[in-house]
Structure 1
Amino acid sequence: MPQDMPPTGGYGPVQYKRNLPANGFRPAALVIGMGAIMTYGFYKLAQGTKERNELAREKMWSRIHLIPLLQAEEDRDLVRRHLADQAREKELLGENFKVYNSDRYVRPTFAVTPANVTK
């Protein structure tokens, strides 16, 4: 029986790779798919940011347009309180005293005080 001998051209390059079919998608297809999904996500994110900015702008302008109404309401309340205070002062003292040494109008400050003070 003849002895096994190496092949006649030598072994050549060492084969380290297995000849098996690749499972799953090719890496390029995975990268392209992932890029498409991320592009769609960034598109939706940009749309949401634009919508949020538009809603914030609308909110700001609605508040700006309400300022004159709120200021007029506050002014009416101040006039009502001032006239009531003048009437109360006239009823108690008989005449209205000038508290400040000026004819200039000074906006009053009201402090809420408790009705019943416990000691």
Structure 2
Amino acid sequence: MADCVPLVKKQDLPPPGGYKPIPFKRIPAKQYFSGFACIAGYLGITTVSAYLYYLNCKQVKKNEIEMRSAKMAIYPMLVAERDREYLKQLRRNRDAEAELMRDVPGWVVGTWYGERVYKLLPADALIEPIFHEFYAHSDEKSWNNRTNLSIAC
């Protein structure tokens, strides 16, 4: 059992001359810019950005004025087209009523069996129908567009 001699490890010792002292003092970060350079950079970037913003606002304002002028120029025509389409739909409704009730004896279009519904109005006065009457003889797509419905097909 001479082979089983325990190996003796050599104990770790401090390096010759001892350990270095432990650093505990505050080490400030390296400064790349001074306070003056930071403030000057901020003011410079702000000035350039404000100038670019001014140029952009001027361009947008010019475009806004042009678009407003175009809308004001075209608005009367759009209102006239809307009124024209409204009257065309009223005529289509009247024609549809005449076609639908052509076999009913004594039926006069725009009356209730020949009797005027509104007696105090002149005979040629425009009586604006309610929403349901206006869209009674139109296609379903027009009804859905007007009521903001979306029907998935």
Cα distance per residue 1:19-75 (max 9 Å; x no partner): xxxx75554344333322211111112222232333333333332223222212212
State yes or no: 1:78 paired with 2:86: yes
Hey, what's the Cα distance between the residues in 1 that align with 2:48 and 2:58?
16
Q: Map 1:12-31 onto structure 2 (within 5 A).
A: 24=32, 26-31=34-39
State yes or no: 1:61 paired with 2:61: no
Q: Structure 2 length as normaliser, TM-score?
A: 0.46
Counterpart among 57, 82, 100 of residue 118 in structure 2 = 100
Cα distance per residue 1:57-95 (max 9 Å; x no partner): 333333222322221221221221222223333441244
Hey, what's the Cα distance between the residues in 1 that align with 2:82 and 2:58?
36
Q: For residues 42 and 95 of structure 1, do their structure 2 counterparts lie closer, same or farther at Cα, with a shift above 3 Å needed?
A: closer
Which structure carries more relative contact order (alpha carbon 8 Å, separation 6+)? Answer: 2
Hey, what's the Cα distance between the residues in 2 that align with 1:46 and 1:30?
24
SS of 2:82's partner is helix
Hey, what's the Cα distance between the residues in 2 that align with 1:81 and 1:106?
13
Counterpart among 41, 44, 56 of residue 49 in structure 2 = 41
Report the RMSD for the aligned CA atoms in angstroms: 3.1
Hey, what's the Cα distance between the residues in 1 that align with 2:63 and 2:78?
22
The runs of 5 or more residues in structure 1 that have no matched partner are 1-22
Q: For residues 32 and 76 of structure 1, do their structure 2 counterparts lie closer, same or farther at Cα, with a shift above 3 Å needed?
A: same
Q: Structure 1 length as normaliser, TM-score?
A: 0.55
Residue identity in the other structure for 1:42: A
Q: What is the aligned length?
A: 94
Hey, what's the Cα distance between the residues in 2 that align with 1:99 and 1:61?
45
Q: Which has the higher helix share?
A: 1
